[in-house]
Chains A and B, each alone.
Chain A
């Protein structure tokens, strides 16, 4: 399995809702990432987990809460989002070893906050 799988593919939520985005990989990668991508913009790093520990938090608002339950799973819990948080949320992973900088992206969750 050489894929990063994200669910759901699309999500519409209200500002008072609580929802979670899920990401899964079975490539043995030990670093996992959340990126946010607005239309016609580059991916913007949010969080990095290395060996299931949070190693980078790019000053993301607390309404986004990441979780790494095990080496294959990465979640992003969403609460009290704003309309400006509407974007494509991309999960990525990278492997241990010499080529461990290469990012493998999932297809993303297109999030709309109403």
Chain B
């Protein structure tokens, strides 16, 4: 069945360093790859996304890359700040009459001041 693997499960970085989170998906029909940030006790919120016809997308300090052949995609956060501390979920989505979005297990990011 569909599966999204995410690594690492926990990531601790110093403020100002970069953070990289990697995901692999199994469903070749997936064509949309969002990343969600969830702070403690809050709802998941979309931070960046990429479609399967694009290899890379950047939004200020956040970038996402996609290797469709290898079914890999990654989140890159540069110049990390303490407020970046949260759980980050990657996801893979496809349209089956309503979008089926499967989430990775999550990465708990700690940014130390």
**CB-based contact A42/B100 at 8 Å:** no
Out of B32, B100, B106, name the residue touching A48 (CB < 8 Å).
Answer: B100
**Which of B13-21, B40-48, B54-62, B65-73 touches A?**
B40-48
The answer, yes or no, to whether A90 is at the interface (CB within 8 Å) is yes
Chain A residues contacting B44 (CB-CB under 8 Å) are: 43, 90, 103, 105
Most buried by B among A31, A55, A103: A103
Chain B contact residue count (CB 8 A cutoff): 23
**CB-based contact B98/A50 at 8 Å:** yes
* Cα separation A45 to B89 with both chains bound (whole Å): 14
**CB-based contact B43/A100 at 8 Å:** no
The answer, yes or no, to whether A94 is at the interface (CB within 8 Å) is yes
Out of A48, A49, A105, name the residue touching B43 (CB < 8 Å).
Answer: A105
B103's closest neighbor in chain A, by CB?
A42
**CB-based contact A101/B93 at 8 Å:** yes
**CB-based contact B46/A45 at 8 Å:** no
B43's closest neighbor in chain A, by CB?
A105
A107's closest neighbor in chain B, by CB?
B43
Shortest C-beta distance, A90 to chain B (Å), equals 7
Out of A41, A90, A103, name the residue touching B34 (CB < 8 Å).
Answer: A103
**CB-based contact B103/A43 at 8 Å:** yes
Chain A residues contacting B32 (CB-CB under 8 Å) are: 101
Show the binding face of A for B, using Cβ within 8 Å. 31, 33, 40-45, 48-50, 55-56, 90, 94, 100-108
15 example contacts (A-B, Cβ-Cβ < 8 A) are as follows A31-B99, A42-B103, A42-B104, A45-B100, A45-B102, A48-B98, A49-B98, A55-B98, A56-B98, A56-B100, A101-B101, A103-B101, A104-B46, A106-B43, A108-B43
The 3 A-B residue pairs with the shortest CB-CB distance in the complex, in nearest-first order: A48-B98, A42-B103, A50-B98
Show the binding face of B for A, using Cβ within 8 Å. 32, 34, 36, 42-46, 49, 89, 93, 95-106
A42-B106, A45-B102 known, 14 other contacts, Cβ within 8 Å:
A41-B106, A42-B89, A42-B103, A42-B105, A45-B100, A50-B97, A55-B96, A56-B97, A56-B98, A94-B99, A101-B93, A101-B95, A103-B34, A105-B44
